[in-house]
Amino acid sequence: MGPARARHGRRPLTGFLEIRDLEKRWGHGVTVGPITLDIARGEILALLGPSGSGKTTMLRLLAGFEAADGGRIAVAGEDVTTVPPARRRFGMVFQHYALFPHLDVGENVGFGLQGRGKRNEGRAQKISDALALVDLAGYEQRKVHELSGGQQQRVALARALAPEPRVLLLDEPLSNLDPALRERTRHELRDVIKRVGITTIFVTHEQEEAFDLGDCVAVLNNGHLEQTGLADDLYEHPANLFVATFVGRANVFRGDSARVLGGNGKGVVVVRPERLQFADAGLPGIVRERRYTGAGAFFLVEGDDHERFEVLAEPDAARVGQRVHVEATRVIAL
Binding residues (CB under 8 A) for other proteins: these are 63-65, 67, 82, 84-92, 94-96, 98-102, 111-112, 159-160, 163, 169
Q: Which of 120, 245 has the CB closer to other proteins?
A: 120
Q: Could you give the strand order of the β-sheet that contains 332-333, starting from the edge strand earlier in sequence?
A: 251-253, 269-271, 332-333
Shortest Å, Cβ 21 to other proteins: 17
Answer for the pair 224, 240: CB distance below 8 angstroms, yes or no. Answer: no
Q: Which of 108, 257 has the CB closer to other proteins?
A: 108
The full length of the chain comes to 334
Beta-bridge partners for 18: 38, 74
Shortest Å, Cβ 112 to other proteins: 3
Shortest Å, Cβ 65 to other proteins: 5
Other CB atoms closer than 10 Å to residue 204's CB: what's the count? 24
Beta-bridge partners for 327: 277
Q: Which of 12, 70 has the CB closer to other proteins?
A: 70
Shortest Å, Cβ 154 to other proteins: 15
Q: Which of 88, 272 has the CB closer to other proteins?
A: 88
Shortest Å, Cβ 196 to other proteins: 16
Q: Which of 2, 70 has the CB closer to other proteins?
A: 70
Pairing mode, strands 90-93 and 167-171: parallel
Angle between the N-to-C axes of helices 149-161 and 121-133, in degrees from 0 to 180, rounded to the nearest 10: 130
Of 172, 166, 198, 167, nearest to 185 (Cα)? Answer: 172
Quickly list DSSP for 90-124.
EEEE-TT----TTSBHHHHHHTTSSS-SSS-HHHH
Shortest Å, Cβ 214 to other proteins: 21
Q: Which of 6, 127 has the CB closer to other proteins?
A: 127
Calculate the alpha carbon distances from 148 to 78, 154, 158, 177, 188 in Å.
39, 10, 15, 10, 16
Shortest Å, Cβ 9 to other proteins: 30
Q: Which of 107, 274 has the CB closer to other proteins?
A: 107
Residues with Cβ within 8 Å of residue 312, at least 6 apart in sequence: 273, 274, 276, 296, 297, 298, 299
DSSP type of residue 185? H
